[in-house]
Amino acid sequence: MTEPEFTATGVRIERWPRSLTRAGKVLIKDGRLALLTSRGQEIDSAPLGSVSAVRPWFAGGDRTVATVNGTRYRLTMGQAEQAERPDRRPDGSGVVGRFLDAVREARGARE
């Protein structure tokens, strides 16, 4: 079994206008992005080739928007995951920056 390219726990996953979970998990593994609840149930997943992820200019540093299977999800990657992996990127973007990098790298490796 291969190691995931990216994992974040304690992620708030919202699909406007409601919150789906306040302690979910984002996982990139084997060329797929999966959004999971705190209990491990799948909210949505898709091959990375059909996923887009951006950090809107108006969002806080711990937020990003991912479009999975045509559905937009707002992901807030807060303090819980940062406590597990306190390393931060030079630009200060932390978890969100690592997530966006992982999506770009995984998409580039498969395209």
pLDDT of residue 109: 60
Distances (CA, A) of 57 to 64, 65, 70: 10, 11, 21
Inter-residue contact 30 to 39 (CB < 8 Å): no
Q: What is the pTM of this model?
A: 0.81
Q: 19 pLDDT exceeds 50?
A: yes
Q: Going from the N-terminus, what domains does the chain have, and what CATH number goes with each?
A: 6-110 (2.30.29.30)
Q: How confident is the model at residue 24 (pLDDT cuts 50, 70, 90)?
A: very high
Residue 86 burial (10 A CB sphere; 0-12, 13-18, 19+): exposed
Q: Which residue has the higher pLDDT, 41 or 94?
A: 41
